[in-house]
Structure 1
């Protein structure tokens, strides 16, 4: 019985690290992090399609993390290091690091392609 209660308490603690944002809360966070106004509708659309605004989203099959589903293959560690952030840090309720990393991914992708948003497969729904 004690093991069940402990398991439930640990599961609840893990879930409490994230939250579901409203689109307006997400947009407020983008503005607070100095994201250019013209990008906000597209980032909002991507977050909606990638995670349904869930800051704790984790796709174990693809290895994508957080509200913007940042790929562990290249951008968060382990194994990728492109953003210099631990993948676990992308799944908490503070999305500052998610936004910073997403902007980095956007800029790096823009060097290879004209549109940095194309790093997200869900971008096809957002333009």
Structure 2
């Protein structure tokens, strides 16, 4: 009987991996990006974008466009699909598929800043912004 308990505990411990993907709740996501220094007045728009881009899934992959992770970061410009970091964020795209979204957030900020410089609105980098998140997004933080 004790062997079964020990085996169950070991099996459960082995399945715990901090590098696994996860799906955030909207409030959880908002709290996380606040902690990464995202401006408060833009949090609701980021929540809207993450919802429409990935449904808050850190393992999201758009096989048609090559976009990765919770922010759907493009492998064309911003990350490398190889074993070495690359692209504008000097990252491996696979790094955007785990539950640690700090590197995703840093890359999203870099993308935002570049598009802010190019177009005057950093959110234009995300295709979901104009059709879904270009207006009042305050409702995305209700209940948070």
TM-score range, shorter chain: 0.7 to 0.9
Which is bigger in relative contact order (C-alpha 8 A, separation at least 6)?
2
TM-score, normalised via structure 2 length: 0.75
Q: Cα deviation per residue 1:57-94 (whole Å; 9 max; x = unaligned)?
A: 01111000000100000001137510011100001000
RMSD of aligned Cα (Å): 1.7
The residue that corresponds to 1:112 in the other structure is 118
Instruction: Say if 2:68 is the partner of 1:65.
Output: yes
Between structure 1 and structure 2, the one with the greater Rg is 2
Deviation for aligned residue 1:111: 1.1
Question: Once structures 1 and 2 are overlaid, which stretch shifts more, 22-31 or 75-84?
Answer: 75-84
What are the ranges of 5 or more consecutive residues in structure 2 without an aligned counterpart? 1-14, 135-144
CA distance in 2, matches of 1:20, 1:114: 31
Q: Give the gaps of 5 or more residues in structure 1.
A: 1-11
Task: Return the alpha-carbon distance in structure 2 between the equivalents of residues 85 and 96 of structure 1.
Answer: 12
Distance 1:33 1:49 in 2: 21
- For residue 116 of structure 1, report the CA deviation from its aligned partner: 0.6
Q: Is the 8 A contact 2:22 2:58 kept in 1?
A: yes
Aligned residues: 114
- Distance, in Å, in 2 between the alignment partners of 1:104 and 1:23 is 22
TM superposition score normalised by structure 1: 0.85
